[in-house]
Amino acid sequence: MRRAFSGAATSLLSALLVCAFLGLSSCASGGVETTQRTAKQQSSVQQSSVQQSTAKQPARTISASVVSLPPVLADSSQYQPGKARDYYIKGATLQMQERPAEAILEFQQALRYDNVPAVHFAIAQNYVKLNKQDLALEELRTAITQDSSFTLAYKLLGELYVQQFRVDEAITVYQYLDSRTPETMNRFMLARLYELRNVDKAIELYNQLLQESDESDAMILARLADLYSQKGNSAKSLECLEKLQQSSPGNQAVLFTLMDAYMFQKKYEQGLELFKSSELVITDNDAITLAVRYANGLLTSFDQSLIARTCADKFLERLELKNKAAYATSWQVQIMCGLLAGHLERTVRSNAYFDHALTLSDSIPEVPLQICAFYFQKQRVGDMVRVAEQAVKRFPSNGQLYFLWGLGLSQSDSSARAITVLQQAVKIDTNNLDAWNQLAILQNSTGNLRASDAAYERALQIDPGNALANNNYAYSLSERNLQLDRAQSMIETALKAEPKNPSYLDTMGWILYQRGNYKQAVQYILQAIDNGEVSATIYEHLGDAYHKIGEKEKAVQAWREALRKEPNRHSAKERLSNGTATK
C-alpha cells in the first residue's frame, strides 16, 4: 500500500472517508447466490448465482454463505427463487444505472420470495447512495445476522460508522475484519481509528504495517512521524521523517516538514545539509521556501547557540553562491539575509540586503514593518527612522508605519516631532493601541498631562485590560496623588497580567506609599528589585519608603544605589544632602 504523503494529520474523518468509499464500486455490479429447494428436500439449501456486468468494469460476484431460510418463509408458498432472481436482476440493473430508489424497490420484491443476506447488502448499498445511512445500517445488521461471515457487509458497516464518526463501533468492526481477513487496508483503517482512542495502539499497528511494506510506505511513515511527535518522542519522529524523505525525495511537503523538525530540535547542521542536498533538485519557489524555513529556525536561537551562528554564516555563504537566480529577485530571501547578517553584527551587509528587499517589495508594507521592528530590537534607531520615514511616503495610509516612525523618533530625543507623527498614526487608525500608549507616554514626559490622560483613557477604552496602559496611567495618577483608588485598581489589573513585572510592582508600591501604607510599599518595591534589573527611580522609591518607617540606614543605602545607577540624579543627591537622611 503506497500512498502520497498528505502532510500533517488535520482531517482524520475526510481521510478515512476517502479510504472508505474505495470499496463501494466493487460491490455495485455483483451477483447474489440464492437458495433453491427441491420438492423432496425442503430444508436443504443449494447455491445459485446471478452475475451482472457493466460496460465499465468486468463482472464481479458478491457471494454470501449458505444460510437456512427462516421457518416462516420455508413453509410459505412465497418462496420462489426464480422470481427472487428476476427481481434481483432488475434491481442490479437499476443500481448500475444510478437509480437507487427504484433499485431498492426491486430488491425488496426479491426479499419477498427469497430472504438472503446478499439482497439486504444490495439494499444497503443503495440506501448509502440516497444518503439514508440509518436505513443502510439496518439492512447491513440484518445481513450480518443471517451470515456472520459476510465480509463485504462488515466492510460497508465499518465505512458507515466512520462516516458517522462512531469511532468505537468502527473499531469493533475493523478489529473483526482484521482477525478474519488481515488485509493491509483494514489494518490501516483500524490504526487511523485508534489514533482517536489509543495512540500507542495506533503506533503498534502502523509499525506492523511498516514491517509488512518493506519499511518505506510513505503514508505509514507520515502517520508515525506525527504520532511520535504527539507523544513527545522527537527522536523517533525525526527518524520516520528521514526515512520518509529518502523514500519520497521529491515530495515538497515531506521536505518542508523534515526541515521544520530539524529546526525544532535545533539540529542546525543537519538542516543545512538538507538544504544543500535539496537546493539544486527542487524548484526555485521551493528552494526559497526551504531557505526561509531554515533561516527562521536559526533566528529563534541566535543569541543562545554558537552552532546557530556558525551555520548562519555558512548559510549566507551558500546563498551568495546564487545557485538559484531567483534568490536575487526574492524579497523574502533578501530580508532573511538581512536579518541573519544583522544578528551576525555585519551592519553594512545587513543594510544592503534590507535596501534590496525594500526595492523588490515597493507594494508590500509588511517588508518595511519587519525591517523597522528588527532595527528597534537592535536599537539601531537612526536606521529605523530612515526606513519608516521613507515607507510612509509609499504607504501614507498605513498607521502602523507611522507608529514605528514615531516610536523611533521618541527614542532619539525628538519628542515634539514624535508626537506629531504619532498623532497622524492614531488619526489613520483610531484603534492603534500601541500608538495611543506611546503618545500618552510622550505627552506625560513633556508635561502635557491633560493630553496624556486623554490618550490613556482612549487606550483603556480600546482594551480595558491592557497591562501597559493600566500601569502607566496608574503611576501617572499616583505621582500627582490623584484618584488613588482607581490607580490601585488599574495596577491590580496590570499585575494580574504580569505579576512579576518590576515596573508594575514598583507602581503598586508607590501607590501604597502615597496612601500611607509604607510597610506594604516596601514589600512591593523589594519584590520589584528581586524580579529583575531595575531603574534608579525604584531604588529612590525604596529609600523613601524605608525613611517613612524609620529605617534610616536602609534608606540611605537605597538612595546611594539610585545615585550609583544614575550619577546625575538630582533628587537622590538632595535626599542624601539636605538632611532627609541621617548619614
Whether this prediction's pTM lies above 0.85 is answered by no
pLDDT digit of tens for each residue in the chain (583 aa)? Answer: 333 333 333 332 333 322 332 232 333 333 333 333 333 333 332 333 333 333 333 333 333 333 233 333 433 446 788 899 999 999 999 999 999 999 999 999 999 999 999 999 999 999 999 999 999 999 999 999 999 999 999 999 999 999 999 999 999 999 999 998 888 999 999 999 999 999 999 999 999 998 887 666 888 999 999 999 999 999 999 999 999 888 887 788 899 999 999 999 899 999 999 999 998 889 999 999 999 999 999 998 877 778 999 999 999 999 988 778 899 999 999 999 999 999 999 999 999 999 999 999 989 999 999 999 999 999 999 999 999 999 999 999 999 999 999 999 999 878 899 999 999 999 999 999 999 999 999 999 999 999 999 999 999 999 999 999 999 999 999 999 999 999 999 999 999 999 999 999 999 999 999 999 999 999 999 999 999 888 999 999 999 999 999 999 999 999 999 999 999 899 989 988 865 544 3
The residues with which 49 forms a beta bridge, in sequence order, are 33
Which residues, at least 6 apart from 280, have a Cβ–Cβ distance to it below 8 Å? 323
In terms of Cα–Cα distance, which of 163, 124, 126, 167 is closest to 142?
Answer: 124
Q: What is the DSSP string of 177-243?
A: HHHHS--HHHHHHHHHHHTTT-HHHHHHHHHHHHHHTTT--HHHHHHHHHHHHHTT-HHHHHHHHHH
CA distances from 414 to 6, 164, 384, 455 (A): 54, 65, 14, 19
- The C-alpha atoms of residue 531 and residue 500 are separated, in whole angstroms, by 6
Query: Are the CB atoms for 186 and 172 separated by under 8 Å?
Result: no
- The C-alpha atoms of residue 86 and residue 110 are separated, in whole angstroms, by 8
Orientation angle between helical segments 399-411 and 433-445, nearest 10 degrees: 30
Orientation angle between helical segments 100-113 and 81-96, nearest 10 degrees: 170
Query: Are the CB atoms for 422 and 438 separated by under 8 Å?
Result: yes
**Matching residue, cell 526515512:** 243
Q: For the domain bounded by 12-165, which CATH number is listed?
A: 1.25.40.10
343 alpha-carbon distance from chain centroid: 27
Domain map of the chain by residue range? 12-165
In terms of Cα–Cα distance, which of 258, 188, 193 is closest to 229?
Answer: 258
248: which 3 cell numbers?
Answer: 519520497
**Matching residue, cell 445500517:** 137
Which residues, at least 6 apart from 581, have a Cβ–Cβ distance to it below 8 Å? 547, 552, 555, 556, 559, 575
Per-residue pLDDT, 216: 61
In terms of Cα–Cα distance, which of 316, 315, 376, 318 is closest to 352?
Answer: 316
Give the 3-state secondary structure of residue 159.
helix
- The C-alpha atoms of residue 337 and residue 333 are separated, in whole angstroms, by 6
Give the 3-state secondary structure of residue 573.
helix
289's enclosing H/E stretch is helix 284-299
- The amino acid occupying position 214 is D
- The C-alpha atoms of residue 366 and residue 272 are separated, in whole angstroms, by 27
- DSSP assignment, residue 328? G
Backbone angles phi, psi at 34, to 5 degrees: -115, 155
The residues with which 32 forms a beta bridge, in sequence order, are 50
**Matching residue, cell 499585575:** 495
In terms of Cα–Cα distance, which of 365, 325, 320, 362 is closest to 338?
Answer: 320
Q: In this predicted model, what pLDDT tens digit does every residue of 477-523 receive, in sequence order?
A: 999 999 999 999 999 999 999 999 999 999 999 999 999 999 999 99
In terms of Cα–Cα distance, which of 478, 536, 470, 483 is closest to 512?
Answer: 478
- The C-alpha atoms of residue 160 and residue 285 are separated, in whole angstroms, by 41
